[in-house]
């Protein structure tokens, strides 16, 4: 079944979007709303009564709570934080979250299948992905599918233990997607893209102020993408829509509510990776288009997300906030796994065995968070604090289909083979594949104390109660009967202002993580404990336009589940190990001139196991990321950009290896008019051949390819 849209349908959608955007812009010019002014009576009574909250001011001054749950600037946060902002996402054509995260300082994207990915930082898998600061850990550290980045204002990458952000996690870091919210101006944009592999994409973003006084506003974001691939027979279709409304409630309240829907359909996906090794130690070199999948396979995912957020100003210094987030998702899969019993190919590239698989799954999560934050005076100084209570629950339920014994199971020919060598089996009855739930209750608190004019201290803690229950929970094969765990995680940090533009800092935190991996006997491993210590300096240069960060870190995971092999049923088993990561990171980001933006980040680390020797050889020990864009002085309408990524060599014991490699992407944007911009993107500029991961196996990255976009902002 072909999933590409008909050209007439796509064209009609684009023209309709452009017409609607132009008409809305004309109306906005005729009746542009003005933010409400503060009544004189309230202004005069400022010292005795609470001023009315002005929503428009809050929209323009949203501040991230970063790594501490406190509204701090990145320079004042005693932990490493990087961001990928909306303009970079658009300029470099980063429409999917996996491609975007590859640009993040200290983040490695290990995409071992076309629809499953892990991320790591400081040597360890990132277990926590959040949206607007809320989220639950990813099962096994694996993310299925990817987010459409057009929904987000920016992506924050917080490295180190995340004890103040969630009650469970590890010493790697946190990815936080910050959603677009309503603004104070009517208007928006539409972006139409075409490119290699029959890429077709339309993205629409429109904001509308709903009331004459500016108190209520709404924003609608939608993206549709359809494309083939450099991989044989792979086809992706993704539709995403998101709407959000915020506004004034009474004199002191702000209410926000939103809804999102995403539908992704992938045909002929990878399930499992390429088998690349021969028994003699040599590594096969296949065409980049090689795929073990079959034409009848598919991986469909759907998700629904709704949230409500209410903030109430209790006084000029204190706010109370309640947030509820609800997520439901479903997966339908028909997959094909090609493997060998020995882990090696025969010299003629035969020896692969086929394993068809079909499943239906659904999951859901609910998060309710309430907190109180603000400023207080003590000992003649002003300080900040936050205290909150959070409750979250998650449910997973999946079934797999048995295979009728009469279904043919032909031997696979030498690889690479075409997509019709193994017919779809006759599917039988269903059986449980995963059935489990977990509940997490946590109490968290943090305060930033002004110890002197130059010295600030941050102290915080999380107290958690985790319950897990289910049969074959997360596919682990072991029943849990109301398993309970409790833990307290502290956070301590100090920031010293050397000069008004330069800070030195230090921080310590630990974190607790229940593990879903099982040992060779089928029993779940004990919880892991992560510890993170970091010292560094942050400085602003060029009139605060450029921020530099240098950090020395030490991260330890105690009892970390480490892959130990596969059993006769091809089920992975693990063993606990104490793993230590030590290294440093350096980053510079901002404007180096009126015309030029720069972000460059370098990470170097060492990973050692309990015996003191190197471990996790699939994690690159050195990475360098750079993005630079600039207007051309002699051609004011032209902007050029270059993004490069370099990593050192990696390997997997008994698996594949990948030499160090350097990738480069580039764009050229030409401003046709004040409202229209034409942008050309070239990905993998030098046509490098490389494996995207070797952690669980891998496959080849895309060769050089192109995209051409027309961006219209009336």
C-alpha closest to that of 309 among 165, 62, 63, 132: 132
Task: Locate 39 and state its tokens.
Answer: 């009544």
pLDDT of residue 698: 86
Q: Give the chain's domain count.
A: 1
* CATH assignment at residue 506: 2.40.170.20
116 Cβ contact list (under 8 Å, min separation 6)? 142, 143, 144
Domain ranges, residue 94: 7-712
Q: Which residue has the higher pLDDT, 580 or 472?
A: 580
Q: Do 247 and 216 meet the contact criterion of CB atoms below 8 Å apart? A: yes
- CA–CA distance, 574 with 585 (Å, rounded to integer): 30
Please write the tens of the pLDDT for every residue from 364-397. Answer: 999 999 999 999 999 999 999 999 999 999 898 9
d(CA 353, CA 350): 9
* Beta-bridge mates of residue 367: 325, 392
Closest CA to 329 of 402, 241, 394: 394
Quick check: is 204 in a domain? yes
**pLDDT tens string 314-351:** 999 999 999 999 999 999 999 999 999 888 999 999 99
In a domain, 2, yes or no: no
Q: What average pLDDT does range 499-523 have in this prediction? A: 82
Residue 593 lies in a domain: yes
Q: Does some domain include residue 481?
A: yes
* Mean of per-residue pLDDT scores for the chain: 86
19: in domain: yes
Which residues is 487 bridged to in the sheet?
464
Tokens 């542009």 belong to 32
Within-domain flag for 1? no
**What integer pLDDT is reported at residue 26 of this predicted model?**
42
Tokens for 671, please give them.
């401003």
**Entry pTM:** 0.88
Which residues are within 8 A (CB) of 567 and not within 5 positions of it... i.e. 6 or more apart?
Answer: 520, 573
Whether residue 416 is preceded by a cis peptide bond, meaning omega within 30 degrees of 0, is yes
Read off the pLDDT of residues 578-619 as tens digits, 9 standing for 90 and up: 889 999 999 999 999 999 999 999 999 999 988 889 999 999
Sign of torsion over alpha carbons 500, 502, 508, 511: positive
Res. 22: pLDDT tops 50: no
Asked if residue 256 is part of any domain, the answer here is yes
């Amino acid at each position: 079944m072909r999933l590409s849209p008909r050209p007439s349908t796509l064209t009609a959608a684009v023209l309709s979007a452009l017409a609607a955007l132009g008409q809305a812009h004309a109306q906005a010019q005729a009746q542009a709303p003005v933010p409400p002014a503060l009544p004189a009576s309230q202004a005069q009574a400022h010292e005795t009564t609470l001023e009315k909250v002005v929503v428009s001011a809050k929209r323009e001054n949203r501040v991230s709570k970063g790594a501490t749950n406190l509204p701090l600037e990145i320079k004042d946060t005693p932990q490493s934080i990087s961001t990928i902002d909306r303009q970079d996402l658009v300029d470099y054509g980063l429409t999917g979250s996996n491609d975007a995260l590859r640009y993040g300082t200290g983040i490695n994207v290990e995409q071992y299948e076309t629809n499953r990915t892990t991320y790591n930082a400081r040597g360890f898998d990132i277990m926590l992905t959040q949206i607007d600061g809320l989220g639950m850990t990813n099962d096994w550290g694996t993310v299925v599918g990817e987010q459409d980045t057009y929904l987000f204002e920016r992506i924050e990458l917080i490295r180190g233990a995340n004890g103040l952000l969630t009650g469970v996690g590890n010493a790697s870091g946190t990815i936080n997607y910050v959603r677009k919210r309503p603004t104070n101006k009517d208007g928006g944009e539409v972006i139409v893209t075409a490119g290699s592999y029959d890429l077709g994409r339309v993205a629409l973003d429109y904001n509308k102020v709903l009331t004459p006084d500016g108190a209520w506003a709404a924003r609608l974001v939608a993206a549709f993408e359809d494309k083939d691939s450099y991989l044989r027979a792979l086809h992706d279709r993704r539709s995403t829509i998101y709407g959000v409304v915020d506004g004034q409630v009474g004199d002191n309240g702000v209410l926000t509510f939103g809804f999102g829907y995403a539908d992704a359909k992938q045909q002929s996906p990878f399930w499992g990776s390429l088998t690349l090794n021969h028994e003699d130690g040599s590594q096969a070199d296949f065409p980049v288009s090689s795929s073990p999948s079959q034409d009848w396979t598919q991986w469909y995912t759907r998700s629904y997300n709704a949230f409500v957020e209410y903030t109430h100003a209790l006084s000029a210094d204190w706010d109370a906030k309640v947030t509820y987030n609800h997520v439901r998702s479903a997966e339908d899969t028909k997959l094909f796994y090609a493997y060998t019993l020995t882990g090696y190919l025969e010299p003629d590239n035969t020896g692969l065995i086929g394993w068809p698989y079909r499943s239906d799954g659904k999951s859901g999560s609910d998060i309710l968070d309430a907190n109180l934050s603000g400023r207080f005076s003590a000992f003649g100084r002003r300080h900040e604090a936050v205290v909150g209570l959070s409750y979250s629950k998650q449910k997973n339920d999946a079934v797999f289909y048995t295979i009728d014994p009469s279904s043919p199971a032909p031997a696979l020919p030498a690889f690479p083979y075409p997509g019709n060598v193994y017919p779809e089996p006759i599917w039988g009855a269903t059986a449980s594949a995963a059935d489990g739930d977990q509940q997490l209750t946590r109490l968290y608190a943090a305060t930033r104390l002004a110890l002197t004019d130059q010295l600030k201290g941050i102290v915080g803690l999380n107290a958690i109660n985790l319950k897990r229950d289910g049969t074959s929970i997360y596919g682990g094969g072991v029943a849990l009967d109301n398993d309970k765990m409790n833990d307290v995680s502290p956070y301590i940090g100090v920031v010293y202002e050397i000069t008004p533009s330069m800070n030195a800092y230090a921080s310590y935190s630990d974190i607790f993580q229940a593990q879903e991996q099982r040992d060779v006997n089928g029993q779940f491993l004990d919880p892991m404990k992560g510890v993170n210590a970091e010292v560094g300096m942050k400085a602003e240069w060029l009139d605060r336009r450029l921020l530099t960060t240098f950090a020395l870190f030490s991260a330890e995971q105690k009892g970390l589940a480490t892959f130990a092999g596969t059993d006769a049923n091809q089920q992975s088993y693990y063993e606990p190990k104490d793993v230590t990561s030590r290294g440093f990171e350096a980053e510079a980001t901002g404007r180096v001139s009126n015309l030029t933006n720069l972000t460059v980040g370098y990470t170097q680390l060492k990973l050692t196991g309990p015996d003191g020797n190197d471990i996790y050889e699939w994690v690159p020990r050195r990475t360098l990321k750079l993005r630079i864009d600039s207007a051309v002085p002699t051609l004011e309408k032209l902007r050029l950009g270059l993004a490069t990524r370099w990593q050192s060599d990696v390997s997997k014991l008994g698996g594949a290896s990948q030499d160090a490699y350097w990738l480069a992407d580039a764009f050229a944007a030409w401003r046709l008019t004040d409202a229209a911009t034409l942008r050309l993107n070239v990905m993998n500029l030098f046509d490098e051949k490389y494996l995207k991961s070797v952690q669980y196996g891998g496959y080849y990255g895309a060769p050089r390819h192109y995209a051409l976009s027309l961006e219209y902002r009336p």
